[in-house]
Amino acid sequence: MPRTPIIPKGSAPSLAPYSPGVKAGNTVYVSGVLALDTAGKLVGAGDVKAQTRHVLDSIKAVVEAAGGSLDDVVYNAIFLKDLADYAKMNEIYASYFPSSPPARYCIRADLVKPEFLVEISSIAQLG
């Protein structure tokens, strides 16, 4: 099956060799997204709500560049630096998925740099 890298305009520079998203058939796989702006600078230092909002906006951009919307997201993997931030992250997360939220899991994990508080990876099914 052919696959197409999805790189939305204004994407943050990659910290490693990967594409922000890949479309294979009607499925879009979104790489783990961190709170980085277009210059690769941290967004929302010390603020898990701001980082979650930025991460979900970035996921939305990838899915939309592939021809979908957040309503097409069927699965999210959430990584939190500190589980004490779980309620704050969920407050923002719920505003992006207000009804029929996707399946997901959330674990505590060390992220690639200590200033990152949240990372989310997604799968969307288009059509």
Compute the residue count for the chain. Answer: 127
In degrees and rounded to multiples of 5, residue 107 shows phi and psi of: -130, 160
Active site (annotated) includes residue 106:
yes
Q: Which amino acid is at 110?
A: D
Catalytic residue (choose from 106, 111, 123, 126):
106
List the end-to-end C-alpha distance of the chain, in Å, as a whole number: 17
The residues assigned a catalytic role are: 106
